[in-house]
Each structure stands twice: as structure tokens, then as C-alpha cells.
């Protein structure tokens, strides 16, 4: 890493106190060396209104499939204090970061951290819990994990899914076709990041002194076209 990058990271980490600076998960305490868009709170900004609206609902269980570093399960968990939390994450390394982040934010008692999601264990995690929210980002595995024949509980579940047609051609349309009858579906599309996405309140001088670095810090470096689908069941959830 270049010295200017190291300095920029050190300044933002120190100024933030290690907690998410803006957005719906503001105040979430992250493990050291976070992805900068997570720390700055600009991450997946397109979803912020949706996340805020979902956080206002009374979920009994929130299931995060593809937990990464725990940003979503901990973010939702802090905002929905009555919900049980279940997070599936494939890699042991990421599960360790999730566990540390869960602990830092005082959520250990109501969080289950599990390994790879498969149709069977995902169905078990979602079935019979009452109103359940699924947040899924699994690099193409959403094609298998949203098959209602294999995961029947999803027919009555609210889902926020990142789709990855770049990895699995046609997966977005397949999900829409599967749930078009049972769910109301909203598509959310990404937009480019600019200097306006940097939370200037963190360090007001930074966008003036290091504008290029600030723009770079909010980039999410996506591998290709992707979208999000919000699927809400048409029948009331039990």
C-alpha cells in the first residue's frame, strides 16, 4: 500500500473512532482495517432508503446469507433489537470477523453464526419463525438458494437479494420469474460514486485536500453489472 493510502486510512479510522460514519448503520463498531465504504457508510448507498424502511418493521428473525464481515447482520441487529439474528458465511476467516463485530456491538446473545448456506439449512433457518427478513449476497449462489421448490419457506418471506448476472447469467430474471406471483418485486440499480458520496462531516478538509483519494475511498469495485431485488410477499407473513 502507498504511504498516502496508509495515511488516508489512518486518518479516517481515527476520525471515525472505528464506527460507521453515516447511513442507516451509523455507529456500528467495525473490526480494524474495514472496507472503507463500510466505514464511511456510503456502502450500497442505493439501498439506504430500503434498509431504513426495513429497519422500521417488527422482524422476529433476520437471516443474512453471505455475511462478509458482518456489516448487514450487525447493522440490522442494532436497529431491530427484538429480532433473532442468523448469519451464514462460507469462509472461516470471514466468520471470525463477523464474530468479532457481533461481540463488539453487544449482539452475541441473539446471533447464530453458521457456515455455508444450502437450500436445506436456509429453509430451516427461515421456517416457522414469524416475520422473517432474508438479506442475501452470495456471488451467484442466489440461483440455487432462492429455488422455492427447495426452500419453500421463502414463498412467505421478505427478501433483499443482490443478483449477479455477471457470475450466473440469467439469475436475476430467474428469481423474478419464480416469485412474480407470490411477491411484489422492486428492482434497485447501482449508480456511480462521486465526491458527494464521501461523508465530509468526518473530516471537512479531506475532500478539499485529497479529493481523488476521497472519491476512490467510496468506490465499491464491483466485478460487473449487478442489481438488487426487494421481494415482499403479497400475503401477510405469519
Ligand X SMILES: C[S@@+](CC[C@H](N)C(=O)[O-])C[C@H]1O[C@@H](n2cnc3c(N)ncnc32)[C@H](O)[C@@H]1O
Chain residues that interact with ligand X, rule: CB under 6 A = 65-66, 68-69, 71-72, 88-91, 94, 116-117, 137-139, 141
Q: Which is nearer to ligand X, 206 or 229 (CB)?
A: 229
Q: Which is nearer to ligand X, 12 or 69 (CB)?
A: 69
Q: What is the DSSP letter of 19?
A: B
At closest approach, how far in Å is the CB of 91 from ligand X? 5
Cell of 146: 432462492
CB 58 within 8 A of CB 84: no
Cell of 87: 448469519
Contacts of 48 (CB under 8 A, 6+ apart): 23, 24
Q: Which is nearer to ligand X, 130 or 225 (CB)?
A: 225
How many angstroms separate the CA atoms of 34 and 108, rounded?
20
At closest approach, how far in Å is the CB of 51 from ligand X? 11
From its phi and psi, is residue 195 left (phi > 0), alpha (psi between -120 and 50) or beta?
alpha
Q: What is the DSSP letter of 164?
A: -
Q: Which is nearer to ligand X, 75 or 233 (CB)?
A: 75
Cell of 162: 443482490
CA distances for 198 relative to 46, 79, 144, 161, 178, angstroms: 14, 23, 36, 25, 38
At closest approach, how far in Å is the CB of 73 from ligand X? 9
Q: Which is nearer to ligand X, 69 or 217 (CB)?
A: 69
Q: Which is nearer to ligand X, 84 or 89 (CB)?
A: 89
At closest approach, how far in Å is the CB of 204 from ligand X? 27
Cell of 60: 422476529
Query: What is the C-alpha R_g of the chain?
Result: 18
At closest approach, how far in Å is the CB of 4 from ligand X? 25
At closest approach, how far in Å is the CB of 209 from ligand X? 29
Amino acid at each position: 500500500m502507498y504511504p498516502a493510502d496508509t495515511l488516508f486510512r489512518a486518518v479516517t479510522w481515527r476520525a471515525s473512532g472505528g464506527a460507521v460514519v453515516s447511513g442507516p448503520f451509523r455507529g456500528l463498531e467495525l473490526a480494524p482495517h474495514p472496507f472503507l465504504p463500510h466505514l464511511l457508510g456510503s456502502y450500497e448507498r442505493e439501498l439506504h432508503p430500503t434498509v431504513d424502511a426495513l429497519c422500521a418493521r417488527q422482524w422476529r428473525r433476520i437471516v443474512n446469507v453471505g455475511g462478509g464481515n458482518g456489516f448487514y447482520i450487525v447493522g440490522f441487529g442494532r436497529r431491530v433489537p427484538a429480532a433473532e439474528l442468523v448469519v451464514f458465511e462460507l469462509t472461516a476467516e470471514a466468520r471470525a470477523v463477523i464474530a468479532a463485530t457481533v461481540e463488539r456491538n453487544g449482539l452475541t446473545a441473539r446471533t447464530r453464526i453458521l457456515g455455508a448456506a444450502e437450500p436445506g439449512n436456509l429453509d430451516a433457518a427461515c421456517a416457522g419463525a414469524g416475520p422473517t427478513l432474508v438479506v442475501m449476497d452470495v456471488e451467484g449462489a442466489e440461483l440455487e438458494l432462492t429455488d422455492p421448490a427447495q426452500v419453500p419457506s421463502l414463498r412467505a418471506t421478505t427478501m433483499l437479494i443482490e443478483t449477479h448476472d455477471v457470475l450466473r447469467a440469467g439469475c436475476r430474471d430467474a428469481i423474478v420469474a419464480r416469485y412474480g406471483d407470490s411477491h411484489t418485486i422492486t428492482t434497485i440499480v447501482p449508480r456511480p460514486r462521486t465526491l458527494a458520496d464521501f461523508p465530509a462531516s468526518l473530516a471537512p478538509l479531506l475532500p478539499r485536500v485529497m479529493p481523488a483519494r476521497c472519491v476512490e475511498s467510496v468506490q465499491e469495485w464491483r466485478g460487473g453489472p449487478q442489481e438488487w431485488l426487494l421481494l415482499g410477499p403479497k400475503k401477510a407473513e405469519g
